[in-house]
Amino acid sequence: MKTAEEYHPIDCDLHDYLEIACMYHYWLHIELTDGTCFDAKALTTCTTVEKEEFLVVEQSENQQKIRLDCLSAITALTPGATFSTVSFQRAYRG
């Protein structure tokens, strides 16, 4: 993950999908900007004192924090989820 680079906040409307996923503990297929893909359960979001935002997920009983600007897409795997696939890619990253 690119935690050494400057954090770029995601669009506010994308936070809604993450909050829903965390509230209902959706299983997600997560795609990162570096091409990594994995499935995990959404738990919560958190913000550091440096204002970097993270999604906290659980995979095989291990928790992992994913910086939000490292997300490329999430797909809800939980049956009956209120969304399917959400893209986090920006048209321009500058």
pLDDT of residue 1: 46
Mean pLDDT of the 56-77 span = 96
pTM of the model: 0.88
> Do the beta carbons of residue 71 and residue 30 sit within 8 Å?
yes
Report the distance separating Cα 91 and Cα 54, nearest Å: 21
Q: How confident is the model at residue 68 (pLDDT cuts 50, 70, 90)?
A: very high
Average pLDDT over the chain, rounded to an integer? 91
Domains of the chain as residue ranges with CATH: 10-82 (2.30.30.720)
Beta-bridged to residue 40, according to DSSP, are 28
Report the distance separating Cα 54 and Cα 82, nearest Å: 21
Report the distance separating Cα 73 and Cα 19, nearest Å: 15
Mean pLDDT of the 20-34 span = 97
